[in-house]
Amino acid sequence: MNAKKLRFTLLGMIGLAVVLFFVICVVGLSKLSAQSQKMVAFKLKSQALDYQLISLGQAKKQVEQYSYIKNVAAEVIPNDKDQAQAVLEINQIAQQSGIAIGSISFPASTLGVGADAAKASTSKLISQAQPVPGIKGLYSVQLIIAPLSGSNVPAAQQVTYPKLLDFLNRIEDNQRTAQITQVVVEPLGGTGGSAASAITFSLTINIFIKP
């Protein structure tokens, strides 16, 4: 082999080596890119799982933190419809406010009346009570309160605006009579002393029960 053939042979080998180098580089970079994309996907999936675990842990803590609410609601809301107890509590609140109660009216009971009786027996609904929208198992009973009024009522038990406001605040703070739906106030128009500022009212409230 002469020098010219040797030179061409070496140039050919060098060219082949360069081509192989570029082919290996392209294939290697392609594989690296694919592996990199897989790593990114795995990393994103891992981050998503970590976020879900954190969210689950926070939700579990919130469930544990607020699990007592159900028990509190069961303790705070009366589970009966004891009209005598409700009347007693309202009278006690009125006495604390310096007001004499004249009447407390409940709605007419539908228990035992035709189809309503069958409905009550099958669904175990409570007579006089209405389901509270949006709160399963909670019922309300409406009643109307009116004070004693007139010349026969002692001055110490005459209703005035400060007494009425105090009475309303006490009614709202009571666990059984927590919702006032309507207040109608009328001046009595007396003359002289406390009679001049005396008023009368009609108060509609809801008492709540959770059987």
Nearest-angstrom CA–CA distance, 182 and 203: 6
Nearest-angstrom CA–CA distance, 161 and 97: 11
Q: What percent of the chain has pLDDT over 90?
A: 14
Q: What percent of the chain has pLDDT over 70?
A: 70
Q: Are 199 and 186 in contact (CB under 8 A)?
A: yes
Nearest-angstrom CA–CA distance, 80 and 193: 44
Tokens describing residue 141: 């009973």
Nearest-angstrom CA–CA distance, 3 and 15: 18
pLDDT at 38: 79
Domain residue extents for the chain? 3-66, 78-209
Distance of CA 138 to the CA centre of its chain: 13
Q: Per CATH, the architecture of 78-209 is what?
A: 2-Layer Sandwich (3.30)
pLDDT beyond 90 at 164:
yes
Q: Tell me what the pLDDT averaged over the chain comes to.
A: 75
Return the higher-pLDDT residue of 36 and 112: 36
Nearest-angstrom CA–CA distance, 75 and 83: 19
What is the C-alpha R_g of the chain?
Answer: 41
- Residue 202 parent element (H or E): strand 199-209
pLDDT beyond 90 at 86:
no
Tens-place pLDDT, residues 25-84:
787 777 777 777 777 777 777 777 777 777 777 777 766 655 544 554 444 455 555 677
What confidence category does residue 167 fall into, taking pLDDT thresholds of 50, 70 and 90?
very high
